Structure 1
Amino acid sequence: MKTFTLPGTDLVVPNVVLGLMRIQDKTDDEVRTLISAARDAGITFLDHADIYGTGVHGCERRFAEALRLTSSEREQFVIQSKAGIVKDGPYFDFSYEHIVETVNGSLEALGTDYLDILLLHRPDALVEPEEVARAFDDLSSAGKVRAFGVSNHTPGQIELLRRSVSQPLVANQLQLSITHSPLVAQGVTANMEGLDQSIVRDGGVLDYCRLHDITVQAWSPFQAGLFDGPFLGSDRFGELNAEIDRLAEKYGVPAEAIAVAWITRHPAQMQVVLGTTTPERVAAAALGSDIPLTRPEWYGLFRAAGHRVP
């Protein structure tokens, strides 16, 4: 498993992350088996959010109940959670009160004294950056959160926060897969008139994050689009799956590993967030951590997914 020091922190992290948004209905043994499979594969970075599961903090509490980590065991994991989405609305809330209340709830549910990283979950159109800054300052000074970041934010939204927030924003969690990759694909066809792929829709967020040492965390790495099913094994992506299978055979790994490798091969040094609760798939995907795809192989997968390469 490839690791690196997360810019803006002293955390040494793997480039594959285990997301825990689907563990609410898992038994203690199932949760422990999942975490054990991840650890055996070198994945010690766990991704939570207050809204995952039934009710608020459902999956966080399920995790804590199943693992019952001692303080020394807790130190072996990097635990990240998120705040800002109010499901009952639905709406978003980056107010001081909501951020602090959410973190306190996450700490209680997880049975820990601190979060390694807190992300603001989706952009709040009514954000007041001074409120966010005050929340971050209080959480940091109290030792409750060690590092901060965002999720699904554009460069402009991040700049607005950075004008008030004193801590570095160390991560931006964004949807990315071979088939859903506008943040990569646009730059490949820059300045090509009349081509939909060339339209800038995200403000150049990938390049922005690279320029500002913000680590991109790629969620839904196997999803074809926005929650419309996986591309692996799908008849909709016959050419892509044929290319994935060819490379899987070459490198002696499962197909999931090639899908992960396409992301980790990018020099932006991104992290891949896995959402599966199947231990075997976690182990399979983790094998993609440091597969050295060549440029022709990387671009071959990109083209097979339907993207234009001039």
Structure 2
Amino acid sequence: MSGNRADGEPGGVSGPVLEVACDESGSDGENLTGGNTDVFAHGSVSLSVSSAAAAVREIRDRIRSPAEEYKANHLLREKHRAVLEWLLAPEGPIHGRARVHLMEKAYFVVERAVGLLLDGPAEAPALFRAGRRTLGEDGWRAFLQAANRLLRVRDNGDPVDAFYGTVEDLRRAHPGTEAARLLGRLAATRARAVAYRAGFLEGPPLIPVLNPLLPAIVRTAALWSGGGRPVRLVHDRQNMLTPDRIAWIEEAARRGGVALAGVRLVVARDDARVQVADFLAGIARKIASDELNGRGDPALTTLLRPHVDPDSVWGDARSRALLAAAVAG
């Protein structure tokens, strides 16, 4: 596997390698508009094995749950609020050594649909704002679901007809609006959508357009490789992370000027660093989702903010502003 590359081997990476442990939360595969979560989070930490193990022990000692494996939901329970605040606090074990990349799933769908159909995602912010403001809750949900169906690899039915039928219905229902103008641009792209779907006849693509995990891993590598510092990612095992896809991640990082030394897969329960990254991802996803839905906890948002990637994929301006912070390289 390319992820087993040793330090100094080909790939433009040399010198001491920083090892960073990663895990995700909120993955529903390509079902981004009908799944259980509205935010995807990819957490990462640069702790030593011993420091991470000490943090996990401390969490277990404070929570005292009989569970064999702890998850973020243990820390998110109100009765363990003090443990959660301790983990995220400036005096806590991960401060300055943790990053989390967030994706608002609805915006990710819009960005990918616009990028595919209109030669780039430049119009995605305008469509996201105008669509939510103009189409109403039901209309906006119908558009997102139709776009999700169009882009996902497997769909029973005719997602092309469903998408363009939805676009036309919404455009006619809201004439003269900015949303209608943008939907009109999408309405003229059927040929491109047909070609996109036809490509699946040759087999599933290596890199699904709608899966957020792969670009999140590339972004995580970039967050930690400031100044050309070589980084190796240690990631929880995922079915999505095949050898071919790991090779794609490494190549995408190289093209972006990121000094990624490789990706190594481990079983989370066997690596305390990945367990801490899992805590961070799950906690961040919940806090971010609460902000997105207008029920944010100001104290927890403030504690999370220093760890959040400022280039997270986020369409909701208010919650983005509340979550965003400059992350030191």
TM-score, normalised via structure 2 length: 0.28
Greater RCO, 1 or 2 (C-alpha within 8 Å, sep 6+)? 2
Structure showing the higher strand proportion among its residues: 1
Structure having the larger proportion of residues in helix: 2
TM-score by length of 1: 0.29
